[in-house]
Amino acid sequence: MSDKSTSSEAAASPAPASVDAGVVVAPRKIYPIVKYGDPILEKPTVAVKKFDADFEQLTEDMFASMYAAQGVGLAAPQIGLNLRVAVVDVTVGKNPEAKIVLANPEIIHAEGEVREEEGCLSIPGFRGYVMRPQFVTVKAQNAKGESFEIRAENLMARAFCHEIDHLNGILFLQHLSMLKRDLIKRKIKKLKKQGEW
Ligand SMILES: [Zn+2]
């Protein structure tokens, strides 16, 4: 999900080596975000099986890439990887404790309905109203492979659903009315023709 209103915080995200709480943090790789039209965005992902140092590094690079793009969530297919992992931080880097890695996530409970506007880093410039559960409980593994359950509501619940959709090859466009979806697709086609996508 993208959230343009928080761009000022996201601009402060670390790119080169930086000192954080006295610990020198390794430089982070900022991945370019894959845009709508790339088939990887519409393919289901493969489960994470290897939880090693490389995987932990990947999740940190995903956070860095997400902050650089001013998003609150990022799924592996959006950086061109067919892997069942997403990262979410609804504070866009303001609170390090709000960083959530969702490896092999599943929604195990959903409740209520909220219709809100949402966007996607892979579909920049377009937004649409999507009905999502108000509350969800997600079961997942963290970057070390440890299982956990997390209950979320409103924006975080929406972010979880949006990212888990990505891991299943589903984009928010699929939740829009056919009319609205076709309108956005037509506009993207035009942008592509003009070399602006
Ligand atoms: Zn998205």
pLDDT at 22 over 80: no
pLDDT for 27: 78
120 alpha carbon to ligand 1 midpoint, in Å?
A: 4
Q: How many CB atoms lie within 10 A of CB 91?
A: 13
> Could you read off the pLDDT of 164-197 as tens digits, one per residue?
999 999 999 999 999 999 999 999 999 999 999 9
Distance between CA atoms of 16 and 41, rounded to whole angstroms? 28
Instruction: Indicate which residues carry an active-site annotation.
Output: 163
Residues, beta carbon < 5 Å, ion ligand 1: 120
> Could you read off the pLDDT of 91-142 as tens digits, one per residue?
999 999 999 999 999 999 999 999 999 999 999 999 999 999 999 999 999 9
> Could you read off the pLDDT of 49-76 as tens digits, one per residue?
999 999 999 999 999 999 999 999 999 9
19 alpha carbon to ligand 1 midpoint, in Å?
A: 30
pLDDT for 28: 87
101 alpha carbon to ligand 1 midpoint, in Å?
A: 15
Q: What is the pTM of this model?
A: 0.87
| 3-state SS track over 38-91 | CHHHHCCCECCCCCCHHHHHHHHHHHHHHHHCCECEEEHHHHCCCECEEEECCC
pLDDT for 20: 52
15 alpha carbon to ligand 1 midpoint, in Å?
A: 22
